[in-house]
Chains A and B, each alone.
Chain A
Amino acid sequence: MSEDLKIRVSREEGEKAVFVMRLNGSLDANTQSALEAKAKEAIDSGAEYLLLDMSAVDYLGSAGMRGIHAITNLLSPDDQSMRSDRLKVINPSPAASKIFKTLGFDSFIDIHGNIDEAIAAL
Chain B
Amino acid sequence: MSSFLESLNPELRDVIRLTGAPVSYKAGQSVFKYGDVGVAIYIIESGTVRVHDGDLVLNMLGNGDVFGELAALGGVERTASATAEEDLKVLRVESEALFNALQERPAALRGLVKMLCERGSGMAQRMTRRSWKLHAAQQELEIGRRIQAGFLPDGLPKVPGYETSGHFQAARDVAGDFYDAFYIPSIDRLALVIGDVCDKGVGAALFMTLFRSLIRATAQSRTFMTWAVESDPGKTLAPNDLDSGPLVDQTLANTVALTNNYVATTHGKTSMFASLFIGLLDPESGVIDYINAGHEEAFIIGRNGIRQGLPPTGPVVGIFGGAKHDIEAAVLEPGETIFLYTDGVPEATSESGEQFSDQRLRSLLESWQGSADELLQMIVNSVSEFTEGARQHDDITMLASRRDSV
Q: Are A102 and B198 in contact (CB under 8 A)?
A: no
With A102-B296, A103-B315, A108-B315 known as contacts, the answer to whether A63 contacts B323 (CB < 8 A) is: no
- B198 near A65: Cβ-Cβ < 8 Å: yes
Q: Whose C-beta in chain B lies nearest to the C-beta of A69? A: B271
Q: Which residue on chain A has the smallest CB distance to residue B275?
A: A103
CB of B112 closer than 8 Å to a CB of A? no
A67-91: CB near B (< 8 Å → 1, else 0) gives 1011001000000101000000000
Q: Which of A32, A62, A73, A105 contacts B196 (CB 8 A)?
A: A62
B312 sits at the interface (CB 8 A): yes
A69 touches B319 (CB 8 A): yes
Interface members, chain B 260-306 (any A CB < 8 Å): 268-269, 271-273, 275, 293-296
Q: Main SS of the interface on chain B?
A: loop
Residues on B with beta carbons closer than 8 Å to the beta carbon of A29: 199-200
Residues of A within 8 A of B321 (CB): 80, 82
For A67, the chain B residues whose CB sits under 8 A away are 271
Residue contact B322 to A82, C-beta cutoff 8 Å: yes
The reply to whether B55 and A1 contact each other, CB–CB distance below 8 Å, is yes
Main secondary structure of the interface of A (DSSP, over half): helix
Q: Inside 8 A of A69's CB, which chain B residues have their CB?
A: 271, 273, 319
B314 on the interface (CB 8 Å rule)? yes
How many residues from B make CB contacts under 8 Å with A? 26
Contact of B323 among A1, A70, A80, A104 (CB under 8 A): A104
Known A-B contacts A62-B196, A63-B199; the reply to A73 vs B320 at CB < 8 A is no
**A32 to B268 alpha-carbon distance, docked (Å):** 18
Which A residue's beta carbon lies closest to that of B316? Answer: A103
Interface size class of A (residues with CB under 8 A): 10 to 19
B320 touches A108 (CB 8 A): yes
Write out the residue numbers on chain A whose beta carbons fall within 8 Å of the beta carbon of B343: 62
Residues of A within 8 A of B271 (CB): 66-67, 69-70, 73
Q: A29-B200, A65-B198 are in contact. Are A82 and B323 (CB under 8 A)?
A: yes
Chain A positions 81 through 122: 1 when the CB is less than 8 Å from some CB of chain B, otherwise 0:
010000000000000000000111101100000000000000
Q: Within the complex, which residue of A32, A62, A108 is in contact with B275, where a contact is CB–CB below 8 Å?
A: A62
| Closest partner residue, chain A, to B296 (CB atom) | A102
Q: Which residues of A contact B294 (CB under 8 A)?
A: 102-104
Task: Kindly state whether residue B54 has any CB partner on chain A within 8 Å.
Answer: yes
Residues of B within 8 A of A32 (CB): 199
- Give Cα distance in the complex from A73 to B318, angstroms: 14
CA A114 – CA B95 in complex, angstroms? 59
Q: Which residues of B contact A1 (CB under 8 A)?
A: 54-55
CA distance A104 to B315 in the complex (A): 4
Within A1-50, the residues touching B (CB, 8 Å) are 1, 29, 32
Q: What is the chain B residue whose CB lies nearest that of A64?
A: B198
Question: In the assembled complex, which residues on chain A have CB atoms less than 8 Å from the CB atom of B314?
Answer: 104
Which A residues lie within 8 Å of B54 (CB)? 1
Q: How far is the CB of B357 from chain A (nearest CB, A)?
A: 12
Chain A CB within 10 Å, residue with most, of B198, B295, B316, B321: B198
CB-nearest residue of chain A to B56: A1
Shortest CB–CB separation between residue B95 and chain A, in angstroms?
Answer: 32
Q: How far, in whole Å, are A67 and B198 apart by their CA atoms in the complex? A: 10
Nearest to A36 among chain B residues (CB) is: B271
Partner of A104, one of B196, B200, B272, B312: B312
> How far, in whole Å, are A84 and B343 apart by their CA atoms in the complex?
26
A32 CA to B198 CA in the complex, in Å? 12
Q: List 22 A-B contacts (CB under 8 A).
A: A1-B54, A29-B200, A32-B199, A62-B196, A62-B198, A62-B273, A62-B343, A66-B199, A69-B271, A73-B268, A80-B321, A82-B320, A82-B323, A102-B275, A103-B273, A103-B275, A103-B294, A104-B315, A104-B316, A105-B316, A107-B315, A108-B320
Residues of B within 8 A of A (CB): 54-55, 196, 198-200, 268-269, 271-273, 275, 293-296, 312, 314-316, 319-323, 343
6 A-B pairs with the lowest CB-CB distances in the bound complex, closest first: A104-B315, A62-B198, A103-B294, A69-B271, A63-B199, A70-B271
11 further A-B pairs in the complex, CB-CB below 8 A; given A104-B323, A108-B315: A62-B196, A62-B343, A69-B273, A73-B268, A73-B269, A80-B321, A102-B275, A102-B294, A102-B296, A104-B316, A108-B320
Chain A interface (Cβ < 8 Å from any Cβ of B): 1, 29, 32, 62-63, 65-67, 69-70, 73, 80, 82, 102-105, 107-108
